[in-house]
Amino acid sequence: MVYDIWTVFWRDWLVLKRRIGRFILSRMVSPVLYLVAFGWGLGRSIQVNQGSYLDFIVPGIIALNSMNISFNSVGSPLNMSRLYHKTLEEYLIAPIASSSFVIGKVLSGALRGLISSVIIIALAYLFGAHALINSWFLLTLVLNCLVFASMAFVAAMVMNSHEDMANFNTYILLPMSFLCATFFVPDHLPTLMRLIIELLPLTHASYALRAIALGGDVPKLSLLVMLVYSISFTGIGIWLLEKVRE
Amino acid sequence: MIQIEGFSKSFGERVAVDNLSLRIAKGEIFGLLGPNGAGKTTTIRVLTMLTRPTTGKIIIDGSEASQDEKHIKAVIGVVPQHFNLDIDLTPRENLELHGRLHHMLPEVRKKRIEELLKYVELDDRANDMVQKFSGGMKRRLMIARALLHQPKVLFLDEPTVGLDPQVRRRLWDLIRRLKNQGLTVLLTTHYIEEAENLCQRVAIMEKGKLIAMDSPIAICRRFGEYVVEWSDDKGTKTKFFPDRNSASSFATTLTTTTTLRQANLEDAFVELTGRKVVN
């Protein structure tokens, strides 16, 4: 099982290694834009909880960026491999367990999310942000990557065209990246909207990353919520992969 | 080696394969023929564990599919109809991925990859990207991949579609050589001459049902050894005759251009399925 997970992961690593330069460069674009627009531009005139707005949004940007990268590293390629290239069949024909394939894919998506997060953390320091990066911070980040890599697996197995996959991005990920406590605290929103937002996994990632980065208590409940999300999505992913054969 | 008993597969209301039973012996090349939509690919997908049967029993190399899928997966090699190589990898990496998925030991894997790259004559292109390969090269690489883990049964779904005649003949030679090494081969095709050339036995499927199963020669002769073919305003017609004399005396009664020849598998196929296969 561990060997099969490693095989699935190894293939993705091989492909990533070949494109690592391009991967890193392209991953720098959107965080730099966020940091310039919201940190330098808009942020100069905003004070949040006696801190600078830049320090406030860096954890939010890390949360939304690791979400996007983890999701898109798994979602589109897997969807294409299932529908167009049919390379998924190579794994379905092989004598490996469905769970090995799911876990391997989720881990490789999470790795890409983590690499891009390291890039943002480095950029944020260059922009003059202050954040406390400790092992709780890393744990939260890893959990967030796992949540969205496994969610992407589920989406890729359910969506039956490349276009639907893009729509999933537009209708689910894009609203989350703006609403889930990334750029502002959703305390002043209408109650119903706030309750929905508080159910979403990215909200917990932003809260937890921000609390830890600013030196506060570790919100263990948020970490637990993210853990439950990632285990559930992984489980659904395994179930869907089994169902493909029906 | 392969045993299918009462296998059916439905997709919702549509029945793709209806109560199919057959046995294929070790070392046999068995052909599955039929017009488009006859259920050949569905049969292959079920035999290669990509789809589960609605009812029926599948036994390959002594293991029943519903009990021991992993054993079956380990002893079969599959060349699907569509190109499903990983285009982000080189040929060598494609093979290495396959070897890892089949738990081959690194030394064995490396040796076998080099052997097979030579065997399918791709050793000089082993580090190029697969994306740049021609159809024939991709097909050869897929065959190398299917053989890498030394399977006991090889499934080939339309292996020579879209290939040049030379490449196709080379593939036939390869398949015959594999059979001589004891491999069991099940192939689907709608090139009739391919089945005639390669297979010891063929089964003809139509609308999900098995309508004939025998050696190609026996199927050819089923309706008569000779055929007279002629055209009239309604299209091409054929008529079977048991011997040459009766065929030629019939031919003299026709006023149009006629052809008198030995019956081939295509004649029998058309007679059985009632429609001409379009190549």
Nearest to A89 among B80, B89, B93 (CB): B80
- pLDDT reported for residue B277: 46
More confident of the two residues A71 and B231: A71
Does B131 reach chain A within 8 Å, measured CB to CB?
no
Paired strand residues for B17 = B9
Does B98 reach chain A within 8 Å, measured CB to CB?
yes
Strands of B2-11's sheet in order across: B14-24, B2-11, B55-60, B63-64
Taking only the tens place, the pLDDT of each residue in A91-141 is 999 999 999 999 999 999 999 999 999 999 998 888 888 888 899 999 999
Test mutation, A3, A87, A96, A98, chain B, max B CBs within 10 A: A87
Fold adopted by B2-215: Rossmann fold (3.40.50)
User: Whose CA is closest to A70, among A24, A15, A115?
Assistant: A115
Taking only the tens place, the pLDDT of each residue in B210-253 is 888 888 888 888 888 888 888 877 778 888 888 888 888 888 88
DSSP class of A238: H
Phi and psi based region of residue A33 (left: phi greater than 0; alpha: psi -120 to 50; beta: remaining)? alpha
Q: Kindly list the residues from chain A whose CB atom is less than 8 angstroms away from the CB atom of residue B100.
A: 3, 7, 10
- pLDDT reported for residue B243: 85
Q: Kindly list the residues from chain A whose CB atom is less than 8 angstroms away from the CB atom of residue B97.
A: 7, 10-11, 90
d(CA A212, CA A209): 5
Q: Kindly list the residues from chain B whose CB atom is less than 8 angstroms away from the CB atom of residue A94.
A: 73, 98, 101-102
Instruction: Give the residue extent of every domain in chain B.
Output: 2-215, 224-262
Strand, coil or helix: what is B211? Answer: strand
Average pLDDT over residues B180-190: 90
* Residue A23 CA neighbour count, 13 Å, CB half: 21
Q: Regarding beta strands B209-214 and B201-206, do their DSSP bridges make them parallel or antiparallel, or are they unpaired?
A: antiparallel
Q: What is the ipTM of this complex?
A: 0.90
* Residue B206 CA neighbour count, 13 Å, CB half: 12
Q: Kindly list the residues from chain A whose CB atom is less than 8 angstroms away from the CB atom of residue B51.
A: 245-246
Does A84 reach chain B within 8 Å, measured CB to CB?
no
Q: Kindly list the residues from chain A whose CB atom is less than 8 angstroms away from the CB atom of residue B89.
A: 11, 14-15
Read off the pTM: 0.89
Paired strand residues for B60 = B2, B63
d(CA B261, CA B279): 21
d(CA A132, CA A129): 10
Taking only the tens place, the pLDDT of each residue in B76-100 is 999 998 999 999 999 999 999 999 9
Does B78 reach chain A within 8 Å, measured CB to CB?
yes
**In terms of DSSP H, where are the helices of B131-243?**
135-147, 165-180, 192-198, 216-221
d(CA A160, CA A52): 44
Q: Please give the backbone phi and psi of residue B248, each rounded to the nearest 5 degrees, phi first.
A: -70, -35
Nearest to A93 among B49, B88, B97 (CB): B49
Average pLDDT, chain A: 92
Nearest to B73 among A14, A18, A94 (CB): A94
Instruction: Measure B73 CA to nearest chain A CA, in Å.
Output: 5
Taking only the tens place, the pLDDT of each residue in A134-187 is 999 999 999 999 999 999 999 999 999 989 999 999 999 999 998 998 888 888
